[in-house]
């Protein structure tokens, strides 16, 4: 199957200036060639499908670097695993039809859904799975719902979505088990959280020795550790351990920003607490009442993380787009694209778009031999990339707000297969000019 995209003004995932009026040749799910001159001389008879991109901006398929496909309800403790899996497949389909052709799953039971997507059983994005996220006892990922539960009573822990590890030996076993289950990277809960009842935000979680054990075990398999983390003390400990991706990093200070810059650590700001209700769907359910009154300060700061935004921009820290979407399928549907508004406000349109395309390309390369999709490049538009493309009304590199409205995405292609097409006349199967 050969496809030609004509008259393409496209964003390559990196440079703000668009490449203009190019021809993109797609074969076997990959971009084989980009023609910058002589496009009009290309024989259209050699192509099975032809799409005209005149009037649109073509961009790489979007990457959400922090999702939870199987963490799609606040009522998971009452769901059987087969129900969780079906809902996860629906969540994946919703994400694909929003233009997210790749996601990095930040913890959950996802490998089976990923396999079904890759085999064409259900539609969805490419998935870089972490499998179960690893937590210490009484940590952010300790999935027990009350102090009356023992570990073996928690459905979340029994499912494998949460993995408890205390001490270096247990950490090594937990990491290696997730790698056996197909993890492309490892997710640690390295500090307190908003949605967990028994660990205040400011708590430090995992000792330096425990985190180093995780980093070493992951590195032995050619991959890296990402960490749920909020406070400067937790971030500095994780940096010493060799963690390569900080999820949230909301309360960083200047000393921590300098460490992040020096070590080239990726930051996934996840602006899901920006205080704006999603349009077309319900508000996410409130987190449990904080067990520590000092958390009130952190909750207020998280609504508008001015200091973190200023430091990320001043030190030019590498960022990726991530939403942490979950709570419900309705919230995923209503809220995922919405976070582009927050990224525009905090980092500017061009940097925000790079964070969901070319920046993600660089981050995902850290999985090296654990990369489940080595055949093509992800997040960039060049020869050798997967044919994951969007046709967008307007130029999101100049105004990222465009992507907030899903109707502005006229065509969604993944692996050369079109999943959405609202082009005039469909734009397929003939000579269009």
d(CA 412, CA 157): 36
Candidate from 22-36, 62-76, 174-188 with smallest mean pLDDT: 62-76
pLDDT band for position 141 (cuts 50, 70, 90): confident
Q: 37-41, 387-391, 401-405 — which is least confidently predicted?
A: 37-41
* Spatial separation of the C-alpha atoms in residues 266 and 258, rounded to whole Å: 13
pLDDT band at 296 (very low <50, low <70, confident <90, very high): low
Answer yes or no: is pLDDT of 430 > 50: no
Give the pLDDT of residue 284: 46
Per-residue confidence band for 210, with pLDDT thresholds at 50, 70 and 90: very high
Distance of CA 263 to the CA centre of its chain: 21
Please say if the pLDDT value at position 350 is more than 90: yes
In the predicted model, what is the mean pLDDT of residues 209-223? Answer: 98
Phi and psi, residue 247, nearest 5° = -95, 120
Residue 243's pLDDT is: 98
Low-confidence winner among 29-43, 98-112, 286-300 (lowest mean pLDDT): 286-300
Q: What confidence score (pLDDT) does residue 427 get?
A: 65
Would you state the structure tokens that stand for residue 139, as one six-digit string?
């940590």
Mean pLDDT throughout 3-18? 96
pLDDT range class, residue 431, cuts 50, 70, 90: very low
pLDDT at 353 over 90: yes
The predicted pLDDT at position 294 comes to 62
Q: Strands, E, within 61-152: which ranges?
A: 62-67, 100-105, 126-128, 133-135
Domain limits, CATH 2.30.40.10, in the chain: 2-60+379-427
Tens digits of residue pLDDT in 358-383: 999 999 999 999 999 999 999 999 99
- For 38, left (φ over 0), alpha (ψ -120 to 50), or beta? left
Please tell me the predicted confidence (pLDDT) of residue 107.
Answer: 94
Residue 278 pLDDT level (bands cut at 50, 70, 90): very low
pLDDT confidence of residue 46:
85
With 70 as the cut, is the pLDDT of residue 258 above it? yes
Specify the CATH number of the domain 2-60+379-427.
2.30.40.10
Band (pLDDT 50/70/90 cuts) for residue 433 is very low
Three-point CA angle 49, 101, 20, nearest 5°: 55
Query: Are 100 and 147 within 8 A, CB to CB?
Result: no
Average pLDDT over residues 13-31: 96
Is pLDDT of 44 > 90?
no
Q: Give 335's pLDDT tier (boundaries 50, 70, 90).
A: confident
Burial of 174 (0-12, 13-18, 19+ CB in 10 A): buried
**pTM (2 decimals)?**
0.92
Q: Where in the chain is the domain with CATH 3.20.20.140?
A: 62-370
Q: What is the pLDDT of residue 194?
A: 78
Would you state the pLDDT for residue 159? 77
Residue-wise pLDDT tens digits, 227-246: 999 999 999 999 999 999 99
CATH number assigned to the domain covering 62-370: 3.20.20.140
Question: What percent of the chain lies above the pLDDT cut of 90?
Answer: 71
User: 275 pLDDT exceeds 90?
Assistant: no
């Amino acid at each position: 199957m050969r496809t030609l995209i004509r008259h393409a003004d496209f964003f390559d995932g990196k440079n703000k200036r668009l490449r203009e009026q190019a021809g993109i040749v797609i074969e076997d799910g990959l971009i084989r060639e980009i023609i910058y001159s002589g496009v009009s001389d290309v024989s259209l008879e050699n192509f099975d499908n032809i799409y005209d991109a005149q009037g649109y901006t073509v961009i790489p398929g979007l990457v959400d670097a922090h999702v939870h496909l199987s963490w799609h309800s606040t009522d998971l403790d009452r769901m059987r695993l087969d129900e969780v899996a079906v809902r996860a497949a629906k969540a994946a389909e919703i994400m694909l039809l929003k233009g997210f052709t790749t996601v990095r799953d930040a913890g959950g039971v996802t490998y089976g859904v990923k396999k079904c997507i890759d085999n064409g059983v259900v539609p969805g994005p490419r998935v870089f799975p972490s499998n179960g996220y690893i937590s210490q006892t009484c940590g952010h990922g300790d999935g027990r719902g009350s102090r009356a539960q023992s570990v073996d009573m928690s459905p979340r822990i029994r499912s494998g979505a949460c993995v408890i590890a205390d001490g270096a030996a247990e950490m090594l076993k937990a990491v290696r088990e997730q790698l056996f289950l197909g993890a492309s990277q490892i997710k640690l809960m390295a500090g307190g959280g908003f949605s967990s009842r028994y660990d205040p935000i400011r708590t430090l979680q995992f000792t330096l020795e425990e985190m180093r054990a995780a980093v070493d075990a992951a590195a032995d398999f050619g991959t890296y550790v990402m960490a749920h983390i909020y406070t400067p003390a937790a971030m500095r400990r994780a940096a010493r351990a060799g963690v390569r991706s900080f999820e949230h990093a909301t309360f960083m200070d200047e000393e921590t920003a300098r460490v992040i810059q020096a070590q080239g650590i990726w930051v996934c700001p996840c602006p899901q607490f920006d205080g704006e209700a999603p349009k077309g769907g319900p508000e996410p359910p409130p987190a449990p009442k904080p067990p520590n009154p000092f958390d009130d300060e952190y909750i207020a700061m998280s609504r508008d993380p001015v200091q973190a935004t200023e430091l990320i921009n001043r030190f030019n820290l590498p960022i990726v787009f991530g939403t942490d979407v979950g709570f419900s399928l309705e919230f995923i549907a209503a809220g995922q694209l919405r976070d582009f508004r927050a990224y525009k406000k905090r980092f500017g349109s061009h940097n925000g778009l790079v964070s969901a395309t070319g920046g993600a390309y660089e981050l995902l390369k850290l999985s090296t031999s654990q990369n489940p999709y080595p055949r093509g490049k992800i997040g960039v538009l060049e020869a050798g990339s997967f044919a994951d493309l969007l046709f967008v009304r307007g130029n999101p590199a100049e105004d990222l707000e465009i992507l907030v409205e899903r109707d502005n995405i006229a065509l969604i292609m993944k692996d050369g297969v079109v999943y959405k097409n609202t082009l005039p006349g469909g734009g397929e199967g003939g000579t269009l000019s």
